[in-house]
């Protein structure tokens, strides 16, 4: 094990996860295109996935439980795929009504 890796702990991964999460939030907040927003969501989910993997890794923690930390992201990835499918249908519907996928055009309902 080279020295550099030995210094890397769970906390480093947590920072990566947090950065991904915050990036995702920022992406959702700033992107106007529906597909861009969807990408932001992927970032959010993957931020959480990094956490799961890091916590579950035997390499990083001696007392880690093992495989389940790596299995959970698989579930999440499958779910994200399912959601992307629904998202496409919704975006298409939005496009049919608004002739754009710019979510800023969703401004009729307020009060």
Partner 1 sequence: MFVDLSTIGLVWPEFILILIAAWIYVGGTLAPGRTTWNVLAWSTYLVVFLVMLKNERALWHDVAAGLVAINGPLIVDYLGQVSRYGCLLLGLLITMIASRAGAERLATEVSGTIMMLVAGLMLVCRANELVFLFVALELISVPTYVLLFLGRADRASGEATVKYFFLSLIASAMLLYGMSTLYGVADGTTVISGTAEVPGIRGALDRLPAGHTSLFLIGWVMVVCGLGFKIAAVPFHFYAPDVYEGTTNINAGLLAVAPKVAGILALIRLVLAVVPADAAWGWPLMWVLAMLTMTWGNVCALWQQNLRRLMAFSSVAHAGYMLIGFTVALVAPAAGGVGATLLYLTVYALAGLGVFAALAYLSDERHEVDGVAELAGLARSHPWVAGALAFCLFSLAGIPPLAGFWGKLALFTGAVRVVLAGDGGVSSWLLVLAVTGVLNAVIAAAYYLRVIGVMYFTAPVTRVAAPGGMGAMLGTLACTLLVLVLSVWPGLAFRMADAADPLLRQARPAVVAAWRMEASAAFAHDGDLAGRWQKGGD
Which residues contact partner 1 by CB under 8 A?
10, 14, 17, 21, 24-25, 28, 34, 37, 41, 44-45, 47-49, 51-52, 54-56, 63-65, 68-69, 71-72, 75-76, 79, 82-83, 86-87, 89-91, 93-94, 96-98, 103, 106-111
Q: What is the closest distance, in whole angstroms, from the C-beta atom of residue 2 to partner 1 in the complex? A: 25
- Residues 78 and 111: their CA atoms lie apart, in Å, by 37
Q: Which is nearer to partner 1, 3 or 96 (CB)?
A: 96
User: Which CB sits closer to partner 1, 4 or 29?
Assistant: 29
The SS3 assignment for 9 reads: coil
3-state SS string over 27-71?
Answer: HHHHCCEHHHHHHHHHHHHHHHHHHHHHHHCCCCCCCCCCCHHHH
């Amino acid at each position: 094990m080279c020295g550099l890796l030995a210094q890397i702990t769970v906390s480093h991964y947590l920072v990566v996860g947090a950065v991904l999460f915050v990036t995702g939030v920022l992406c959702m907040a700033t992107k106007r295109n529906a597909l861009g927003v969807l990408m932001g969501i992927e970032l959010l989910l993957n931020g959480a996935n990094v956490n799961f993997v890091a916590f579950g890794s035997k390499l990083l923690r001696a007392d880690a439980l093992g495989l389940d930390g790596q299995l959970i992201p698989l579930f999440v990835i499958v779910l994200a795929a399912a959601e992307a499918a629904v998202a496409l249908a919704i975006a298409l519907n939005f496009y049919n009504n608004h002739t754009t996928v710019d979510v800023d055009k969703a401004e009729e309902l307020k009060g």
